[in-house]
Every structure is written in structure tokens, then in C-alpha cells.
């Protein structure tokens, strides 16, 4: 049976620098969804790590 009230996820609002449960602020201002509050609180660090990994991947591709 489907859950009639699924968890809306956790987001980090870049406009207000706050964690939100559900889609509170507009999508353009949000990172996520994340599975829990603690992960959403680390959203900027996660984004930075992903960007650095992508940049490294691009450099490696360009050098090959």
C-alpha cells in the first residue's frame, strides 16, 4: 500500500541559509532533497565536494 503522506525530503535554502523540511522556498533557491536534516545541513559542503570531483574529472578528461 502506498504511503499517503510520503516524507517531502529535506532541503537547504541558499537564500536564507537554512534547512527546510519540504518544499518551502522556490526550487531555484534550494539544494536537495536530502534524506535527513543532518545531510541537508551539510549541503554546501556536499556541493563543494561534488564540484571539485567534477572539475578533476574534466581536467583528467582534457589531459587524456
* The pLDDT of residue 63: 84
Residue 3 has pLDDT above 60, yes or no: no
10 Å CB burial of residue 20 (0-12, 13-18, 19+) is buried
The reported pTM is: 0.78
Give tens-digit pLDDT for 7-57: 889 999 999 999 999 989 999 999 999 999 999 999 999 999 999 999 999
- The alpha-helical segments, DSSP class H, found in the chain are 37-41, 43-63
Element (H, E) at 33: strand 30-34
The helix/strand count (H/E) of the chain reads as 2, 3
Residue with grid cell 502506498, as numbered in its chain? 2
Amino acid at each position: 500500500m502506498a504511503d499517503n503522506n510520503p516524507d517531502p525530503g529535506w532541503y537547504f535554502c541558499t537564500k536564507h541559509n537554512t534547512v527546510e523540511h519540504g518544499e518551502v522556498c522556490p526550487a531555484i533557491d534550494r539544494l536537495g532533497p536530502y534524506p535527513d536534516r543532518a545531510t541537508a545541513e551539510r549541503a554546501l559542503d556536499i556541493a563543494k565536494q561534488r564540484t571539485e570531483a567534477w572539475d578533476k574529472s574534466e581536467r583528467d578528461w582534457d589531459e587524456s
